[in-house]
Structure 1
Amino acid sequence: MADTTPKEEGIVRTISDAPPSHYVVKIQSVSLLKNNIDQYVSDAFDAGGYKWKLVVHPSGNKNKKVTDHISLYIKLADTSNLHPGWEVHAVIRMFLYDQKKDNYYVVQDAEEKTRRFRAMKVEWGHDRFIALTEFYNASNGYWVDDVCVFGVEVSVRKEIKLPGRDCLTLIQNPVEDNLSWEIKELNFRKDCYESNALQYWKIRIYPKGLDGGKGTHVSVYLALADAKPSTQIYAEFKVRIVDQSNSNHISSKPEKCCSWFNATNAAYGWPKFMSIDEFRKPQGGYLVNETCRVEADIKVLGVADEPDDLISNNSASDCKEIILT
């Protein structure tokens, strides 16, 4: 019998000897299932760091006006722990076992196209996975002794945060915070010193250097004290090591910097802030009686955070709310 499943652009239907690597569900008494239940939802299974379920419509998805095919879908089983602005992009392969030939009928997107799962669309699949005439054709082996086997593979390719979930607040008249920090008993056996928090901020100093300045320079960084995953802070700042003897300062170059700080990029600084030799010179005044003073002037110019009220399902998902204060 010829395959009566309609050809779909971008969909590839193949035969594979390899079984699905993530999940298999065996359904017994298929005839009872199709006559009494519109859909079957499997137990949750793990793939790519997420929990999923397989959804089978044995006589077609009536909501899609399908009555002559089996409809097969995969859905995210638990989205309660997902950040509201995140998406999951995955490559999906769906399987049906041929019990006579010991191989699998496989339906997937051409060129491993990824499918986008998000809060508004947690389910994706094929309305016309296989024609019922093909499924019940005894020569095919998909339905044997009233038993069939479905399977699925899920390859998560990436997860992204939607820009539309941010609320950006630009501060019209920013207030400058001044952070002053004194390090006592500084020695060069310790890799890093970190100040207490002031508002959002901490200062870190590496006496032996970090990255490109390791072994030759003192490295100084300004860092977020509490880097929350949903928050970004845009700040203008200046950091200096104080000359305690002559009341002069060594400042960052350029004198003032601006940068975004977030959970991924929580610190900004200078691996070669000052050479170790210059820092240790007695006449320099930067290290006096094993004491060093570091200061920072910081202006928060803008904050991007998750809004209290997410945009409605009827709104465009790519808009960003701008609030001037």
Structure 2
Amino acid sequence: MKKLLLVFSVCCTGYLCGCTSHREAVEALPPLQPVAFDSVPSVDGLLSVTRLFVTGDLLVAYEETRDTLFSFWQLPDCRYLFRAGIRGNGPDDLLTLDRTFRETEEGFTAFELETSRMKEVAVDKAGHSLRIVSTKPFDGGAGFLNRFIFLKDGHYCCVSNDEKHEYLLLDNQGGVRPFGTYPEDLLPKKEGDLNRFVYNKLTVAAPSGEKFAAFYAYVKLCRMYDSEGRLLKETLLEQPRVADNGERQVYYASYPCATDEAIYVLTEVDGKPVLEVWDWDGKLTARYSLPCAFTALAYAPHDGVLYAVCAGEEKDLLYKLLL
């Protein structure tokens, strides 16, 4: 195991913060800090990790393009265990899943996109297998559900297809309520452009389900909501940039991960990969320079380590970020 330390120059600029009615300059960005990390071979030969997550003492990599969907490592030593989870329509098989996984005592719960069903999965470490414990369909006229996240009190949230509202709030009884207005005039729109694509975003909920955050792909904007769909805070770090050829600058492209205290999200500064840390009050609290362009993150609460994987030549390594 090799330990490295990277140091980049400090960079400070102003950022804007707003609520539902206005935005104003409030303070300087946190300085870029060095990050220490360990790297270990992944053993499993990761191809394209869709999502990393932790359940119990297991680190799990979900690769939606593979026929066997999950790889498992034992924590905290990050020892590779096995692959499991067959793609298919059998009783213990899974189709393509959304990128949110909720920890359970036996394993995890996931949302199956093609069928709009929530599946609870038990992980059998001894048998190197998965078992479907329960299946719950979602209907309520919501149609195709995307960016599915778990909130408290049996509430769930997903991105809406409605041009007037950003989200749908779903409950255990099949109730569906639209909420959330799109940002106004932040990004140019051509005739026929749909709001949900112009204001594409990545969402993440606190493990408690009390709040969730949205990070926008084409504008450096973070919005915080509570579990009832009320907008709590809106923070705009910089005005969006559009290239001469009309291509939008991409700010957030990889799914965040979260604890009940912090949110970890990947971005870049001047073409260099950066990790941002936010609190649930909508404040950017820290920024770290990274050794490569990570594509997925997972936080392990029992050892306080942030696990990550890179694309490209470093795809056969697992990283442990020591913040």
Q: Do the two structures share a fold, i.e. TM-score over 0.5?
A: no
Report the TM-score, using the length of structure 1 for normalisation: 0.17
Report the TM-score, using the length of structure 2 for normalisation: 0.17
Give the structure with higher Rg (CA).
1
